[in-house]
Amino acid sequence: MFSSKTAARQSLLAARNKSAAGTGLLDVARSLHEVQVARRIALYVSMGPEPQTGSLIDWLLASGHEVLLPILYADNDLGWGIAPGAADLVPGRLGLSEPPVDLGPDTIATADLVICPALAVDLNGVRLGRGGGSYDRALARVAPGTPIWAAVYDTEILDELPAAPHDHPVQAALTPTRLIHLS
């Protein structure tokens, strides 16, 4: 168990940066019924050693799904736009790639499935992000009953993580090898 969220983030980022990162989520995700039937999926554009989403986004678009991607605001909240295709994304804050049109922060409520980034999740559904609170705010806007998954590597599913009252739980962990439902 980590003594704090800060300690957890430092340890997990160091481990992720040393690991053989870069494995994508496509093979597992496209085999899942929840992905196949979702008309609109909120996702993110991966950066650096995160589980890679590029080929998943391309496949979803080619398969007729609508993909919502985040737009990072100056106050760290998230707006959402429809993915036009990887070549049509524009530079955003902090080096992120974003859709060119912002439909607003409440657009995430229209998603049939949400797949968000995380540094780790625990078996109770606690998600550890990077500490800005962007996704905790966004996930609070997701429509009740909509599945929320965190994209992590298998080694980032832990028994327990520190949690705060504002942390929004996730129902599953999507890894490059499997989907794990959390309690």
Q: What is the mean pLDDT of residues 35-39?
A: 97
pTM (predicted TM-score): 0.89
Structurally, the chain folds into a number of domains equal to: 1
Q: Do the domain assignments include residue 58?
A: yes
Q: What is the mean pLDDT of residues 73-82?
A: 96
Q: For 17-33, what is each residue's pLDDT tens digit?
A: 555 455 689 999 999 99
**Three-class SS of residue 29?**
helix
Instruction: Check residue 149 and give its pLDDT.
Output: 98
Instruction: Check residue 2 and give its pLDDT.
Output: 73
Q: Do the domain assignments include residue 13?
A: yes
3-state helix vs strand vs coil in the chain, percent to 5: 30, 25, 50
Q: Do the domain assignments include residue 88?
A: yes
Where in the sequence is the domain holding 20, given as residue range(s)? 5-178
The CATH number of the domain holding residue 156 is 3.40.50.10420
List the structure tokens of 164: 């705060």
Does residue 87 carry a pLDDT above 70?
no
By the 10 Å C-beta count (0-12 exposed, 13-18 middle, 19+ buried), 120 is classed as buried
Amino acid, res. 125: G
Q: Do the domain assignments include residue 139?
A: yes
Q: For 130-154, what is each residue's pLDDT tens digit?
A: 878 899 999 999 999 999 999 999 9
Q: Do the domain assignments include residue 183?
A: no
Count CB atoms within 10 A of the CB of residue 24: 17
By the 10 Å C-beta count (0-12 exposed, 13-18 middle, 19+ buried), 173 is classed as buried
Count CB atoms within 10 A of the CB of residue 36: 11
Mean of all residue pLDDT scores within the chain: 90
